[in-house]
Chains A and B, each alone.
Chain A
Amino acid sequence: MSSESGPISKGIVTTGSLITRDGVFMKGHGTFVENGEIYASITGTVERINKLVSVTSLRQRYSGEIGDIVVGRISRVGLKRWLVNVNGRQDARRKSASDELQMRKFFKEGDVVFAEVQSVFVDGALSLHTRSLDYGKLRNGVVCYVSPALVVRSRSHLISLHCGVDVVLGVNGCIHIGKHRVFSHLQVDSDNDEAYLKDEQSSLESNTKAGNSSTLPNNDYSDIYSDVNDDIDISTRTNISRVHNCIVILDRLFIRLNSTSINTAYEQSLQYFVPELLKQDVANEIAESRDNKNSAMTFKLLVNSVAYGILSRTDDLSAQRYTIE
């Protein structure tokens, strides 16, 4: 394949660097054409799908695609729509057809919503829907923002941890960590229950295509749109903050978020107090005491390697990779 299509740069390209002179290629995202030559407009790695050349960056803002699961905050309530800040190029819209009189009864400014991208407008604005019962308002928890590159689009964006905490990974880098609840439709990546609800995925997709006005059963209204937190006991609260801090650490280390990495980070964090986790000096202190097997350094490496299946045992890890900074 490569022999017939001429030279093309590989690896990292920086802004303005030449990718290929060959006219057979088409420009994709992150590139531009000048005099028939394709250049990179952003810094990242070159990717090629047949004739399409694109550059993907790890540092760009979220730009939506249909079917993305996002978490956002209502920034404005309009007459016929809610504006949702999804940390993207443009605020997203959640349209409503029938409920114009009581817009604030459903979502108010500041509410955290969990939705799916229904369509993308030409200017990059998104239209959202909350058509499944599992979408809608998020409560009983905290929100944190990570780099959007760390959340990859996957089959499941719901992670249910052992400790009674649910994590909702928005593709836009907005993450909700809250008390466990039961999701009736969406696929949950759960430790407790390996049974996936696969068939629901297809019904969701058909919903997206249909584009009808929202149809929610009346019986659950009060519960879905309630913004009063349930009683959360102290251990769940601690766990929520622990998971939050773990996610902040993973973000700082620039490690992809998925159920494995979050679980590993959580388990490794259990030996520290929650507020300790975010202190750089505490982490360093622990890292410097060499005889401490479970140092923060190994923690970092553990998360790194366990998450990606390089090593799975603490002992192996500390023996082999102790000198890395």
Chain B
Amino acid sequence: MLIFSEYLGLRIDGRRANELRKITCKTNVIDYTDGSAYFEQGNTKILVGILGPREAKQRSASQTTQVTLNVEFLVSPFSSVERKKRSKYDRRSVEIATSIKQTFEHVIIGQLFPRSQIDIFIHLLQQDGGVLEACINATCLALIDAGIPMTDYVCAINAGYVDDSPMLDLNMVEEASFDTPNITIAVLIRSGKICLLQLESTLAVDLLAPVLELAKTGCKYIHSVLDSTIKESTQSMINSVTL
């Protein structure tokens, strides 16, 4: 399938190579959680709820110096065209949950909550490519909403390389296309460090740098969206509490 028209310089959904899909997000959307976020990136829709830090439910899982992160990733059966039922423990779901856990272990200041645990529940409501990136962005938003101390924002994006040009934020059709390499990176915004990098399919080494460069720029943009959402919700909370 032709996913990039060189003639027009447009992708299958009308974007240019360096354009992101529309991001809509909102925090504090679920009542009985400590923090929650709803995140849409194009047609990928995600809901995240955070519980904790609270007493570890299993004694065996609790650590004496650190907080324990528990990530559950759930795919709704109606999330994609193929109505395939996926269990919580299928290989791909476990992989995504582990990636998210490892990503956030870097930034959460866990020493503050020994013997406690933080539960992160991620619900994938609809998928249209870039599931991992959207999950990381949504989780970051929800963790900040929950007031969990972190050293930095973590923003993620995926990128690929099509027809001699790096391409940002692949959707499902682009991801599925056979010869598109697909890189998902998560970036610590302040330091610019990459804390997660996943590559599916292959990419020539000399092409990695330009793709990463583009992806980092994308992350900065995502950070600005997340940051303004957080600031807005905090401001409205402060307004109503001090009015």
Let me know if A12 and B147 touch, CB within 8 A: no
- Which chain B residues border A88 with CB–CB below 8 Å? 54
A39 within 8 A of B: yes
**Binary contact readout A292-313 vs B (1 if CB under 8 angstroms, 0 otherwise):** 0000000000001100101000
- Chain A residues closer than 8 Å to B47, beta-carbon distance: none
Q: How far is the CA of A291 from the CA of B147 in the complex (A)?
A: 42
Instruction: Say yes or no: is B238 at the interface (Cβ < 8 Å to chain A).
Output: yes
- Which residues of B sit under 8 angstroms from A255, Cβ to Cβ? 240-241, 243
Partner of B145, one of A41, A59, A310: A59
Q: Are A14 and B240 in contact (CB under 8 A)?
A: no
Q: Is B115's CB under 8 angstroms from A149's CB?
A: no
Which of A16, A123, A255 lies at the interface centre, i.e. has the most chain B CB atoms within 10 A of its CB?
A16
Q: Report if A12-B231 is in contact (Cβ < 8 Å); known contacts: A90-B115, A150-B241.
A: yes
* Contact of A59 with B147 in the complex, beta carbons under 8 Å: yes
> Is B113 on the interface with A (CB-CB < 8 A)?
yes
A59 and B114 within 8 A (CB):
no
Q: What's the minimum C-beta distance from B240 to chain A, rounded to whole angstroms?
A: 4
CA distance A256 to B238 in the complex (A): 11
Instruction: Compute how far the CA of A311 lies from the CA of B75 in the bound complex, rounded to whole angstroms.
Output: 50
Which of A41, A122, A308 meets B109, CB within 8 Å? A41
Identity of the chain B residue whose Cβ is nearest the Cβ of A90 in the assembled complex: B55
The answer to the question of A57 belonging to the interface, with a C-beta cut-off of 8 Å to chain B, is: yes
Asked if B234 CB lies within 8 Å of chain A CBs, one says yes
Kindly list chain A residues whose C-beta atoms are within 8 Å of the C-beta of B114.
122-124
In-complex Cβ contact of A308 among B52, B55, B153, B243 (8 A): B243
CB within 8 Å for A253 and B240 given contacts A39-B151, A89-B113: yes
Nearest-neighbor residue (CB-CB) of A300 within chain B: B240
Find the residue from B28, B115, B189, B243 having the highest chain A CB count within 10 A: B243
Q: In residues 68-95 of chain B, which contact A (Cβ within 8 Å)?
A: none
Any A CB within 8 A of the CB of B235: yes
Chain B residues, CB < 8 A from A32: 109, 149, 151
Say if the beta carbon of B197 comes within 8 Å of chain A.
no
Task: Give the size range of A's interface with the partner.
Answer: 35 or more
Whole-angstrom distance from the CB of A75 to the nearest CB of chain B?
Answer: 9
Q: Evaluate contact between A61 and B149: CB separation under 8 angstroms.
A: no
In the complex, what residues of A have CB within 8 A of residue B146's CB? 59-61
Q: Which of A125-158 contact B (CB under 8 A)?
A: 125, 145, 149-150
Tell yes or no: B190 within 8 A of A by CB. yes
Residue A277 at the B interface, CB < 8 A? no
**B53 interface hit (Cβ, 8 Å):** yes
Question: Is B237's CB within 8 Å of the partner chain A?
Answer: yes
Question: Which residue of the partner chain A has the closest CB to B32?
Answer: A145
- Asked whether any CB of chain B lies closer than 8 Å to the CB of A15, the reply is yes
Cross-chain contact of A305 among B28, B35, B237, B243 (Cβ < 8 A): B243
A71 within 8 A of B: no
CB distance from B89 to the nearest CB of A (A): 29
Cβ-defined partner of A15 (8 Å) among B54, B150, B243: B150
- Whether B230 sits at the interface, judged by CB under 8 Å, is yes
The reply to whether A42 and B148 contact each other, CB–CB distance below 8 Å, is: yes
Are A58 and B238 neighbours in the complex by a CB distance under 8 Å?
yes
User: Given the complex of chains A and B, what is the CA–CA distance between A321 and B150 in angstroms?
Assistant: 40
Q: Is the CB of B116 within 8 A of A43?
A: no
Contact A256 B241 (CB under 8 A): yes
* A58 in complex: contacting residue of B190, B227, B234, CB < 8 Å: B234
Nearest chain A CB to B200's CB is how many angstroms away? 29
Instruction: Tell whether, in the assembled complex, residue A90 and residue B234 are in contact, meaning their CB atoms are under 8 Å apart.
Output: no
> B133 on the interface (CB 8 Å rule)?
no
Contact B235 A41 (CB under 8 A): no
Q: With A58-B237, A254-B237, A304-B243 given, is the CB distance from A16 to B153 under 8 Å? A: yes
6 A-B contacts, Cβ less than 8 Å apart? A12-B235, A41-B109, A42-B144, A89-B55, A90-B55, A305-B243
Known: A42-B150, A59-B146, A308-B243. 14 other contacts (CB 8 A): A34-B151, A39-B190, A43-B230, A43-B231, A45-B238, A57-B147, A58-B147, A59-B145, A59-B147, A61-B53, A150-B241, A254-B241, A255-B243, A310-B243
Ranked nearest first, the 8 interchain pairs of A and B with the lowest CB-CB distance are A60-B147, A41-B149, A16-B152, A57-B147, A254-B240, A59-B147, A91-B55, A89-B53
Residues of A within 8 A of B (CB): 12, 14-16, 30, 32, 34, 39, 41-45, 57-61, 88-91, 122-125, 145, 149-150, 253-256, 304-305, 308, 310
